[in-house]
Structure 1
Amino acid sequence: MPNQLQLQYKNIKDNVKGPTWQFSGLLLLICLIGLVIYTTGRDKVNMKLYLSQPEIGDVYEYRLDNGNYSTMKLMNITNDSLFLSLNDYEISKRSRLYKIDKQENYPDAFYGYSKEDISLMEKEGVIFDINRK
């Protein structure tokens, strides 16, 4: 390339900038990753809080031995025990637990668990989330 053209090319290249909106997708992706990290950390903090201070109506999401998922609702609390009503239904996908978390799916029968048992189930990953409404 002749020197004259190289000089013109360099001048044009130095003066022309890409539009800033081109980087908006990257900024959006960084914000999304930050939001996921924040909510994950907040969810873990809430889980510890809900385990240490249970309230009637808390819904525990758990994994069954057969690989399906279900929920249990906290119905009564004593000094060392939690009484839970197990959901009548189970579902194969963890993300769809909201479909079976309905009041009519919880029978009147309660099962008692010690607070230590519930904590152990959480540490082993059997109970993976607690929802408080």
Structure 2
Amino acid sequence: MKTTLAHDERIANMVFASVYPHYINKVEKKGRTKDDLHKVITWLTGFDDCKLQELIDEKVTFKTFFAVAKLNPNAHLIKGVICGYKIEEIETPLTKKVRYLDKLVDELAKGKAMEKILRK
């Protein structure tokens, strides 16, 4: 599936802080913790807890969030379908990065082992 320009722009302009509480709720409902979520975010982006909180407080968009992130070199190993899109077929780099994060959160919520989520 190919994403549309409107879809990509909507994702780029979403404020990370508006989505973050949904990530927390999703993983906590399934018995995982905020610390688990932060491990996943840190693995993908390189952000420590302080930097993550700073970006949340600044209400940065996903565009800015991923512009300052240092993407994990193994992020390309994240595969599968999320929100109806096959990750490996997404052509827009930013949209792909956001879907990487969505997929990791999804795997965490589904109870997948942390070693597998972090592609070790």
TM-score by length of structure 2 reads: 0.27
Q: Decide which structure has greater strand share.
A: 1
Which has the larger Rg? 1
Relative contact order, higher structure (CA 8 A, sep 6+): 2
* TM-score for the superposition, normalised by structure 1: 0.26
